[in-house]
Amino acid sequence: MNKGVIFIISGPSGSGKDTLMVELFKKCPEIKFSISSITRAMRVGEVEGVKYNFISKEQFEQMIKEDKLLEYNSYVGNYYGTPRKPVEDEIEKGNNILIEVDVNGAAQIKEKMPEAVSMFIMPPSFEELERRLSGRGTESEELIRKRMQSSLDEIKRASEYDYIIVNDDIATAVDDIISVMRSCQLRQEKQKHIIEEVLEKC
Amino acid sequence: MNKGVIFIISGPSGSGKDTLMVELFKKCPEIKFSISSITRAMRVGEVEGVKYNFISKEQFEQMIKEDKLLEYNSYVGNYYGTPRKPVEDEIEKGNNILIEVDVNGAAQIKEKMPEAVSMFIMPPSFEELERRLSGRGTESEELIRKRMQSSLDEIKRASEYDYIIVNDDIATAVDDIISVMRSCQLRQEKQKHIIEEVLEKC
- Residue in B with minimal Cα distance to A177: B183
B202/A152 touch (CB, cutoff 8 Å), yes or no: yes
Q: List residues of chain B with CB under 8 Å from any CB of chain A.
A: 120, 122-127, 129, 152, 155-156, 158-159, 161-166, 175-176, 178-180, 182-184, 186-188, 191-192, 194-195, 197-199, 201-202
Stretch (H or E) spanning A54: strand A52-54
pLDDT, chain B, mean? 94
CA distances from B170 to A96, B114, B137 (A): 24, 28, 22
Do residues A6 and A110 make contact, with C-beta atoms less than 8 angstroms apart? no
Per-residue model confidence as pLDDT tens digits over A126-138: 999 999 998 766 7
Per-residue model confidence as pLDDT tens digits over B26-65: 999 999 999 999 999 999 999 999 999 999 999 999 999 9
Enumerate the β-bridge partners of residue A53: A37
**For B134-157, what is the mean pLDDT?**
87
How many angstroms separate the CA of residue A58 from the nearest CA in chain B? 39
As a whole number of angstroms, the distance between CA A182 and CA A175 comes to 10
Do residues A90 and A67 make contact, with C-beta atoms less than 8 angstroms apart? no
Report the pLDDT value the prediction gives residue A201, as an integer from 0 to 100. 82
Q: Which one of A9, A154, A179 makes the best mutation probe of the B interface by having the most chain B beta carbons within 10 Å?
A: A179
Q: Give every strand in the sheet of B52-54, ordered side by side.
A: B52-54, B36-38, B78-83, B69-75
Report the pLDDT value the prediction gives residue A179, as an integer from 0 to 100. 97
Question: Looking at this predicted complex, what is its ipTM?
Answer: 0.91
Which of the four pLDDT bands, split at 50, 70 and 90, describes residue A191? Answer: very high
Q: Which one of A186, A196, A201 makes the best mutation probe of the B interface by having the most chain B beta carbons within 10 Å?
A: A186
As a whole number of angstroms, the distance between CA A133 and CA A135 comes to 6
Report the pLDDT value the prediction gives residue B38, as an integer from 0 to 100. 96
**For A62-79, what is the mean pLDDT?**
95
Identify which of A125, A194, A195 has the shortest CB distance to residue B197.
Answer: A125
Q: Where are the alpha helices (DSSP H) in A67-187?
A: 84-92, 103-112, 126-134, 141-155, 170-185
Per-residue model confidence as pLDDT tens digits over B148-188: 999 999 999 999 999 999 999 999 999 999 999 999 999 99
- Dihedral over Cα of B74, B77, B80, B84: its sign: positive
**For B81-87, what is the mean pLDDT?**
97
